[in-house]
């Protein structure tokens, strides 16, 4: 209640009031009005807490809330996609957690329960998991829920993935240190002091006015600036790597991916702990992302996109862990062979688009800065090299029930989905593709999509027909 009351007032507003109180510029009338408004807000906060009631009745979750206008919310348990548990720093101090109930009916969670005891939150998780499990034919649930909120027979969970501090340090060190760029901002404040370390008298007013810097001093200045830039980049990279390691340790402290009777449950966090669960049916694909440094260590980031909020991610997944998780999700440790390529015309298409933008820019540069403007044309061969590498490393594959793709420029990305998860499948043909007998097939799921561009139209139609046949002939529930 106190935390919500302070959030409603706003930290900035509280700070302003404290400044006026200390300075003695706040009149007694304004102070009385402020105290009265705060008292009214506190009363409404207490009423909002008292009126917020949630209960499980049969196969429905009922919620009643509202102070002036009462709102009643009924959520069928078989529509609940996930129950996530979060514990922020303030919650940890008082031994409470917050709960998010997601039904995949909106972009955000359907219900947020701000502060409850962990036993209550975990009991609600087990009730939902037990209901979904017992609703399937031939499967027994996790047991009845006692009036105290505890499940009589909690399910057994097995650890699939666990991360130690050493694992997290290695994972953070192999990520791109983009966070280190923030560390370069304080260096801007040191620009005024750079002149003290420059060789020669480079800040002489007469030299600056006459624009007559000696040649030998100018060359020294160029060397100094280049070396300074390299040092700044190195410092930024080191600081960025350190920040990434700290962030990885704090976020994924004691990270565990647990196998439950219906799917997975992921727990992690040092300052703020999170527990997020998902059924196998909610998982829409298996994706991996791998940086060059992670490739050396044989690890990658594994993501399981799920319906609604709360994708499950496994940082630093090895080949063995990927195969085990894939076996649980898809029933097989290996995916379709990535033995197909897209048309090499993708190189021509990328270079053509670059030429259309580069030529006008080159003409403008030549007219403004002279023949040095021709340097802009170097973007065309650079684009050719990039497009050629993307085409050479892009693969896709197909099996009886799965489709997968892989592409790479610097990072390597792979994605695989089960055809039964498809919500829509379309074959699109641009003017460029129609003239060359090509097409793009796009498969959309409830969470994301997979698209294979610039393939023969016969192959695109074959993929579409296979996906439609699999969806219509397979009687297994997709969610």
Q: Hey, where are the domains in the chain?
A: 2-51, 53-163, 168-251, 283-342+394-473, 345-391
pLDDT of residue 196: 52
CATH number of 53-163: 2.30.29
Is there a common fold for 53-163 and 283-342+394-473?
yes
Residues of the chain with pLDDT under 70: 1-27, 104-109, 132-155, 179-219, 309, 478-479
- Please say whether the structural domain 283-342+394-473 has been given the CATH code 2.60.120: no
pLDDT of residue 170: 93
Q: What's the per-residue H, E or C state across the chain?
A: CHHHHHHHHCHHHHHHHHHHHHHCCCCHHHHHHHHHHHHHHHHHHHHHHHHCEEEEECCEEEEEECCCCCEEEEEEHHHCCEEEEEECHHHHHHCEEEEEEECCCCCCCCEEEEEEEHHHHHHHHHHHHHHHHHCCCCCCCCCCECCCCCECCCCCCEEEEECCHHHHHHHHHCCCCHHHHHHHHHHHHHHHHHHHHCCCCCCCHHHHHHCCCCHHHHHHHHHHHHHHHHHHHHHHHHHHHHHHHHHHHHHCCCCEEEECCCEEEEEECCCCEEEEEEEHHHECCEEEEECHHHHHHCCEEEEECECCCCCEEEEEECHHHHHHHHHHHHCCCCCCCCCECCCCHHHHHHHHHHHHHHHHHHHHHHHHHCHHHHHHHHHHHHHHHHHHHHHHHCEEEECCCEEEEEEECCCEEEEEEEHHHCCEEEEECCHHHHHCCEEEEEEECCCCEEEEEEEEHHHHHHHHHHHHHHHHHCCCCCC
pLDDT of residue 426: 95
pLDDT of residue 89: 76
- pTM score, two decimals? 0.73
């Amino acid at each position: 209640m106190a935390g919500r009351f302070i959030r409603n007032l706003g930290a900035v507003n509280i700070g302003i009031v404290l400044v006026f109180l200390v300075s003695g510029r706040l009149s007694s009338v304004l102070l009385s009005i402020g105290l009265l408004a705060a008292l009214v807000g506190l009363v409404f906060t207490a009423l909002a807490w008292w009126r917020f009631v949630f209960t499980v009745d049969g196969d429905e979750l009922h919620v009643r809330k509202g102070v002036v206008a009462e709102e009643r919310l009924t959520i069928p348990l078989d529509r609940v996609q996930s129950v996530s548990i979060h514990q922020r720093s303030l919650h940890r101090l008082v031994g409470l957690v917050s709960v998010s109930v997601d039904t995949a009916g909106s972009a955000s969670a359907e219900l947020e329960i701000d502060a409850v005891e962990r036993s209550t939150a975990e009991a609600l998780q087990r009730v939902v998991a037990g209901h979904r499990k017992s609703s399937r034919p031939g499967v027994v649930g996790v047991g009845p829920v006692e009036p105290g909120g505890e499940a009589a027979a909690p399910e057994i969970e097995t650890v699939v993935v666990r991360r130690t501090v050493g694992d997290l340090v290695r994972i953070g060190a192999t990520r791109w240190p983009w966070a280190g760029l923030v560390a370069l901002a304080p260096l801007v404040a040191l620009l005024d002091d750079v002149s003290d370390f420059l060789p020669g008298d480079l800040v002489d007013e007469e030299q600056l006015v006459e624009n007559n810097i000696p040649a030998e001093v100018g060359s020294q200045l160029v060397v100094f600036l280049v070396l300074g830039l390299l040092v700044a980049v190195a410092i930024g990279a080191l600081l960025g790597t350190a920040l990434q390691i700290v962030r990885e340790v704090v976020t994924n402290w004691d990270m565990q991916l647990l196998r439950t009777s219906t799917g997975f449950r992921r727990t992690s966090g040092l300052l703020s702990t999170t527990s997020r669960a998902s059924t196998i049916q909610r998982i829409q694909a298996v994706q991996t992302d791998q940086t060059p440094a992670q490739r050396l260590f044989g690890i990658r980031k594994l993501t399981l996109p799920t319906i609604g909020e709360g994708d499950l991610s496994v940082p630093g997944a090895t080949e063995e862990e990927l195969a085990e998780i894939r076996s649980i999700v898809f029933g097989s440790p290996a995916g379709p062979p990535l033995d197909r390529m897209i048309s090499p015309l993708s190189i021509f298409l990328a270079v053509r688009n670059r030429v259309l933008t580069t030529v006008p820019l080159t003409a403008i540069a030549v007219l403004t800065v002279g023949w040095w403007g021709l340097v802009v044309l170097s973007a065309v061969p650079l684009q050719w090299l990039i497009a050629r590498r993307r085409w050479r490393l892009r693969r896709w594959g197909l099996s009886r029930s799965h489709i997968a793709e892989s592409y790479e420029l610097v990072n390597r990305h792979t994605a695989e989905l089960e055809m039964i998860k498809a919500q829509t499948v379309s074959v699109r043909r641009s003017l460029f593709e129609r003239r060359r007998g090509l097409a793009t097939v796009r498969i959309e799921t409830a969470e994301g999509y997979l698209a294979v561009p610039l393939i023969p139209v016969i192959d695109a139609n074959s993929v579409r027909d296979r996906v439609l046949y699999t969806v219509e002939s397979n009687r297994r529930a997709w969610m």
